[in-house]
Structure 1
Amino acid sequence: MTTAPLYLLHTQPDPRLLTTWMVRHRTPDPGEALHGLLRAAFGTQAPQPFRYLDERRGLLAYTTLDAPAMAEQVALADPLAAQALGLAACSNHDGYRLRSFPTQWSQDKELGFEVRVRPTVRSGQKEQDAFLHAVTLAGGPQGTLVDRQAVYTQWLREHLAGHEGVPRQPWQGAVQLLDVQLSAFARSRVMRRTQPAGDNTRKGRAIEGPDAILTGRLHVTDPAAFAHLLARGVGRHRAYGFGMLLLQRAG
């Protein structure tokens, strides 16, 4: 199993221009706005998964673009998108930063992690909060005893392991989770657009659901699969600011 080189991109999006983009494109969702800006700047080479931390810490993303390829993409990018994303140097900052990220990890390497996820399951034709789904399955008074952290931890374990009956993917079996904590939780609305219809317009709909940050420790059990996992991300909505595994030294 071969893995492509991986790089970590860091930018400082301009909050004023990001807000302007959101207003212009009629979206209250920063994830969709950043998705659109990255697509406008990079086309099909848009870095993902990504994580927008905040105005001070900026945006992080994994990409397979090396320094020359990144410089070429930035030079050809839509100027307004590049400026909004903080790709171009200005008086406030020096532009983007790019550094090589490991793709060769020692087996049984222990690492700390943080990941922002949208832990949902399919319920009929809709997505449902995995916790609310578990409460419904528990039924009656027992539903109040369901632990949100335990449900989301199990959701994460299942997504990392893959689903029974589905062909094995290159990123499955990459890690063993040692411990997981629910560090932050909120309910948020994300915007998703339909494919262009006959009138060439994309209709948007707001989807309300869980927005969770999980932290903990993991063991790398399959180094090649782990490299694929980092490049892919975890769960759904990976192109909209969810699923990026941020790593640190264990402990």
Structure 2
Amino acid sequence: MRHGVFDEGYALHVLLSAVFGKGMLQPFRTFRPSRGEGGALYAYSDLDQEALCAVAEAAAPPDGLEVVDVAELRTKPMPDRFSPGQRLGFDVRIRPVRRLARDLSDSQSGKVIRKGSEIDAFRLELLRRSPDGWKASEEAPAARVSRDHVYAAWLAERLAGAAEVDARSFRLASFHRLRVIRGDGRGPEGPDSVVHGDCVVEDPASFAAMLAKGVGRHRAYGYGMLIIRPPGTPPRSR
């Protein structure tokens, strides 16, 4: 906890790194039941169950093993072959932000957003559309743009060359704003969203590499794990 903020993604990043090694379970995603306690953590890894357990048993600190029960660890091989034109459903938690290439003024708030800052892709689109500030643009019917549309375009950019997002199936399943902790301890605030939809594989090798790497920024902290499922089926996520 820093600056009064608890960031679950940051805490899990530290825990998983201590138990299994840095980046060994990344990207990852947590799921919780709608009622009751408990939950599950899903992650992609180059190591199988036996290898992950061996690393944990050899090098994990005792307090880490009190939190992570490696005996409950389960793995399955992911498909390593996809076909061009193959249609897949997806479910992914994203932090749809962009880094500013230059200082940007918001006349509504009177503040200057500095070059290099992360900004919600939706807020940035509103600022670009209205010189009177993003709140004014958000309230102006003529300039109105949907968050779904902006986030669909953001995701499509990151999957470009690997898969094409079907805009008709895209759905913003959840959205809220969340302050997070990172290495500098400043706790940037930004969008936290789960999106669902279908995509069509364009380049199988690029798609497989993208699955392993994750989508967007903050992939080491619980974002960007593209979970694939049969197209057109309801997702399991919470």
What is the TM-score normalised by the length of structure 2?
0.80
Bigger proportion of residues as strand: 1
Alignment coverage as a number of residue pairs:
203
| Separation (CA, whole Å) in 2 of partners of 1:104 and 1:112 | 16
Deviations 1:101-135 (A, max 9, x none): 11111221111101100001112121001111111
Whether the 8 Å contact between 1:136 and 1:143 is mirrored in structure 2 is: no
What is the TM-score normalised by the length of structure 1?
0.76
Q: CA RMSD in A?
A: 2.0
Is 2:93 aligned against 1:120? Answer: no
Whether the 8 Å contact between 1:41 and 1:78 is mirrored in structure 2 is: yes
The Cα shift of 1:45 comes to: 4.9
5+ residue gaps, structure 1: 1-21, 90-94, 162-172, 195-203
Deviations 1:198-242 (A, max 9, x none): xxxxxx121110001110001111111111011000000000000
Alignment of 1:1-251 (within 5 A): 28-54=6-32, 56-76=38-58, 77-87=60-70, 89=71, 95-123=72-100, 124-139=115-130, 140=132, 142-144=137-139, 145-161=144-160, 173-178=161-166, 179-194=169-184, 204-251=185-232
| Separation (CA, whole Å) in 2 of partners of 1:81 and 1:147 | 43
Greater shift, 150-159 or 70-79, is seen at 70-79
Which residue identity is paired with 1:220? Answer: V
The Cα shift of 1:80 comes to: 1.8
Change (3 A) 1:156 1:45: closer
Task: Give secondary structure in 1 for the equivalent of 2:223.
Answer: coil
Which residue identity is paired with 2:121? Answer: A
The Cα shift of 1:142 comes to: 4.6
Whether the 8 Å contact between 1:27 and 1:33 is mirrored in structure 2 is: no
Change (3 A) 1:125 1:101: same
Percent sequence identity is 42
